[in-house]
Amino acid sequence: MYPQQIHSYLHNFFDENNCHIVKNHDHYMTVQLTIEMDKKIMDRPYYWKYLENTNGVPNPAQLTFITDQNKLIENIKGEVVHFGSPRLNQLFRATKDLGAFVHMYEQVGNQIQTKTILTPWLGVNYKVSYYSDQTKEMLYSLGINLITGHLVDGFQERVRTFDLDPEMSEDAFGLTFIIKPLRALERLDLAIEKIINEDDHTWAEEAKIRWQKDREVLEHFYEGVEDKPECYDMEKRALDEQYESRINIEIINGGLFYLKTSIN
């Protein structure tokens, strides 16, 4: 997962949970947490219990997240967030807890007499993890038009700037989808599998080479030992598990989006 993907994910997460983005630069952002978000991710229950008992004034935390420390020029103090970091994993869990599926409508103005037509889209955010003795993880956001079947990559990035709301405007009319969401999800799953199949998988071959070298070291250590001890089998199994190449696809969240703006 690249730093810009992490940055985009953080921005979307906090924006959708009503946390004010105080500063948003290319490689870091400062976020003012709401009371609810502070309670969820800051792990300070005694502080909030004290405030409730004393009727104190709440002061939710303001955090600065550094998403690409290597390109940061400014002298910024904050929490470095990268793939695999405890904070990012915590936000992934929070996403699931807060609701993995949304139903949003793009808002329309009142300038015209007839109702604005909204087209339904299914958007899904995937996390793809490549495992061996090393781990690589990527985020993909795919969307599919439930009328035409048109599929787009980077869907979350495209709709992020839209004025979305859980309630449809009175001056809007939502089209009934032709492609059922479950069928559309199957198409998106096939699309993410195609992306994975076309990806560079030299990492698996490189892991196999490292596994062979470690196996040779293990065999050399026990060379000449006729009755190998139990620890030999345990170490051999451990190496096999450590270097086994596998891919995991996980849906982080998704939703139905009724949009007036066309996406190509």
Same domain, 106 and 192: yes
Domain termination residue (choose one: 67, 99, 131): 99
Same domain, 61 and 110: no
Same domain, 93 and 162: no
Same domain, 193 and 250: yes
Same domain, 63 and 182: no
Same domain, 8 and 130: no
Same domain, 190 and 70: no
Distance (Å, whole) CA 191 – CA 124: 11
What is the dihedral angle through the alpha carbons of 185, 190, 193, 194, rounded to the nearest 10 degrees? -140
Same domain, 132 and 85: no
Distance (Å, whole) CA 43 – CA 32: 16
Note down the domain range covering 173: 101-264
Same domain, 241 and 259: yes
Q: How many structural domains is the chain composed of?
A: 2
Task: Say if residues 260 and 174 touch (Cβ distance below 8 Å).
Answer: no
Same domain, 91 and 108: no
Query: Dmax over Cα atoms in the chain, in whole Å?
Result: 89
The pTM for the full model equals: 0.66
Task: Say if residues 159 and 153 touch (Cβ distance below 8 Å).
Answer: no
| pLDDT in 10s for each residue of the chain, 264 residues | 678 888 888 988 888 788 999 999 989 999 999 999 999 999 999 999 988 888 889 999 999 999 998 888 888 899 999 877 889 888 888 877 776 678 889 998 766 667 889 999 999 999 898 888 888 888 899 999 999 999 999 998 889 888 888 888 888 889 999 999 989 999 999 999 999 999 888 888 888 888 888 888 888 888 878 787 888 888 888 888 888 888 999 888 889 999 998 888
